[in-house]
Amino acid sequence: MEDKEQNQLILLKKHFVNEGVNNFTTVDDLKIHEFQNNNAVLIPSDLKQYFMLINGSDDIPLDNLFEFYGIDRVNRIVNEFKDWKGVPDYSKLDFQKFENVFIFGNYEFNFYSFGIELSNTSSSTNRIFIFCGEEYKVIANSFDDFIDLYLNNPEEIFM
pLDDT band at 124 (very low <50, low <70, confident <90, very high): confident
Domain edges within the chain: 3-156
**pLDDT digit string, tens, across residues 28-37:** 999 999 999 9
Percent of the chain scored above 70 by pLDDT?
98
Q: Is pLDDT above 90 for 123? A: no
pLDDT band at 3 (very low <50, low <70, confident <90, very high): confident
**pLDDT digit string, tens, across residues 60-71:** 899 999 999 999
Amino acid at 22: N
Q: Is pLDDT above 90 for 55? A: yes
Beta-strand pair 112-117/101-107: antiparallel
Beta bridge partners of 102: 76, 116
Work out the angle at residue 58's Cα, subtended by the Cα atoms of residues 53 and 59, and round it to the nearest 5 degrees: 135
Closest C-alpha among 66, 83, 70, 63 to residue 23: 70
Work out the angle at residue 101's Cα, subtended by the Cα atoms of residues 99 and 103, and round it to the nearest 5 degrees: 130
CATH number given to 3-156:
3.40.1580.10
